[in-house]
Structure 1
Amino acid sequence: MTITKDPENSEFFRDGIDEETDLQKQPEQKISIWLAGSIIFFLLLVFVVSALIVQRVYFQPPVVRTAVERELLKHKTAIKDNPNNAEAYVGLAGVYLEVERPDKAVKELEKALRLEPRSWNARFELGMAYEALGKPEEAVSQFLKASAIDPNNEYSFYQLGRLYHKKRDYGQAIQAYKKTLKVNATLADVHYYLGQCYEKTNKKSLAKQEYEEALRYVDSYPEAEKALKQLE
């Protein structure tokens, strides 16, 4: 007796069905992959655009409003463009001194002096910074170095005179003031301070001469007028 196989249960028939099913699934898989990729791209695009909006709205650079801010930005930009620009560090230190941050000024001036050890500006400003920090000995040291670099600049001698005067070292103050006037004889304040030092050392005739010189360069100088009257 011959047994006839059911064609639907034959291996050949099943293989044909499987192949047909796979062919039907392939387009669906391609569509799913494309759709997933599109969604990911869209989400990335939304993220990037959102980040740009947040940066523009919340993270804008600060607006420069004051003259001090402009000066800070100018010198910091100069240093960024050329880290070997000693004068840029001196300029930045000057701004820090202006806003009463002598500690920061010292750091910038030390950088300047590493680049240019014979910079008069850096030495002078460093002396001013040390004085502002309440370190008169360090300030004197820097003003002395500045005066050695440029003996024709009266300001370092003048600052030395002031510091010696404050210490009541009248002999040293007299020498510093005289050197100041040797460079620039028209400074009325220096004549007045020199007169005070002469008074303190009992040189009243010399003190009188200096008060008169102060009044010669400034018509209205109440302190010098008062000191002169007391000597007459």
Structure 2
Amino acid sequence: MGVLYHLWDNTFDAIKHYEEALKLDPDNPFIYYNLGVAYQDMALFKDKSIPLYLKSIELNPDHDNAHYNLAVSYLKSNNLEDAMGEYKKTLEINPDYADVYVDYGMIKIRGKEFEEAMGFYDKALEIDPNNVEAHYQKGIVYAFQEKFDEALAENRKALEINPKHTNSQFNIAVIYHKKGEYDRAIQEYNLVLEIDRIYQDAYYNRGQIYAVKEDLPRAYQDYITYDKIVKAKTGVQPAALALRGLEDEEVEGFMLPSFKDWLLEYE
């Protein structure tokens, strides 16, 4: 039952059922692994997912997915040394684990080592030509290099494989935004919101375009929506300064906020 709840994105009930399953079968490595994934989905790394993956590996040392997800949890906890060790163990067990090479590429992007990153993404795609994240991340590298045609092509490949890959759709919108093709960018941001109605940065960026176009009521509404979503998620209301001058449709003295740029998962 825990797996079903997890597939239905009902993480809390999934955790409840996994914990009940552990009482019945306390030496099952896959229950520890699935419970670790559930807590990882909730961004609870140090106190939850990492100890659970370690227990799963203790019971089943050759489980490549457990080593990989342990590496991801370490990386997201800013423990690069242990993350690299677990990535290495993953590849020792399964040399064709494409997602390890994708993550290597993302680590290289953090250091602006774009050519090295591209090499890892190409390696991932050699193993798995339909690896969505590899295409998406290649698009980010091309965008940083201002190779916008190539960036668009990679993001569109990602969307062909997974039409619900919101980040690829968002980055397509950002490219047109960055190029100053505002009407096309608005269309692309609209597509982002068709996939995910609470994708906050799409509202923020679309609002920025409306402000440039002096369509202040729409700009104001998008910033308000952005504020509401972020506040619901974090308790913080971040865009108060961005709204200055918009409520009364005043342009003079209004400082336009920068729009949200390329997404980097492991910033």
- The higher-RCO structure (CA 8 Å, 6+ apart) is 2
Indicate conservation of the 8 Å contact 1:127/1:138, yes or no: yes
The answer to whether the aligner puts 1:228 opposite 2:246 as a matched pair is: yes
Question: How many residues are treated as equivalent by the alignment?
Answer: 167
Encode CA deviations 1:112-167: one digit per residue, 9 max, x unaligned.
11221111111111112222334333222111111222121211111111121111
**Is the counterpart of residue 142 in structure 1 residue 160 in structure 2?**
no
Q: How high is the TM-score relative to the length of structure 2?
A: 0.55
The answer as to whether partners of 1:158 and 1:190 remain within 8 angstroms in 2 is yes
* Distance in 2 of aligned mates of 1:139 and 1:148: 14
C-alpha separation in 1, matches of 2:209 and 2:224: 15
Q: Could you tell me how far 1:227 is from its partner in structure 2?
A: 5.5
Larger CA Rg, structure 1 vs 2: 1
Name the structure 2 match of 1:102. Answer: 114
Q: Give the alignment's Cα RMSD to 1 decimal.
A: 2.3
The residue identity in structure 1 corresponding to 2:171 is Q
Matches within 5 A, 1:1-232: 67-201=79-213, 203-218=215-230, 219-226=237-244, 228-229=246-247, 231=249
Distance 2:138 2:189 in 1: 20
- CA–CA separation in structure 2 for the residues paired with 1:227 and 1:145: 41
Counterpart CA distance in 1 for 2:221 and 2:172 is 22
Contact persistence 1:192–1:224 (CA under 8 A): no
Q: Which has the higher helix share?
A: 1
1:57 counterpart residue number: none
Equivalent residues of 2:217, 2:247 under 8 A apart: no
Q: What's the % identity of the aligned pairs?
A: 27
- CA gap 1:184/1:223 in 2 versus in 1, 3 angstroms: farther
CA–CA distance in 2 between the matches of 1:80 and 1:132?
A: 32
Alignment CA distance shift 1:73-1:111 (3 Å): same
SS at match of 2:246: helix
Look up the equivalent residue of 2:149 and give its one-letter code.
E
**What stretches of structure 1 of length at least 5 have no aligned partner?**
1-65
Alpha-carbon contact 1:103-1:133 (below 8 Å) kept: no
Distance 1:102 1:74, change over 3 A: farther
Q: Is the 8 A contact 1:211 1:228 kept in 2?
A: no
CA distance in 2, matches of 1:122, 1:89: 9
TM-score normalised according to structure 1 size: 0.63
Secondary structure of the structure 1 residue equivalent to 2:244: helix
Instruction: Describe the shift of the 1:221–1:172 C-alpha distance in structure 2 as closer, same or farther (beyond 3 A).
Output: same
Q: Return closer, same or farther for 1:130/1:70 CA change in 2, 3 Å cut-off.
A: farther
Mapped to 2, the partners of 1:227 and 1:157 lie a distance apart of 30
Structure 2, unaligned runs of 5 or more: 1-77, 231-236, 251-267
Q: Which amino acid aligns with 1:192?
A: Y
How far apart, CA to CA, are the structure 1 residues paired with 2:112 and 2:85?
17
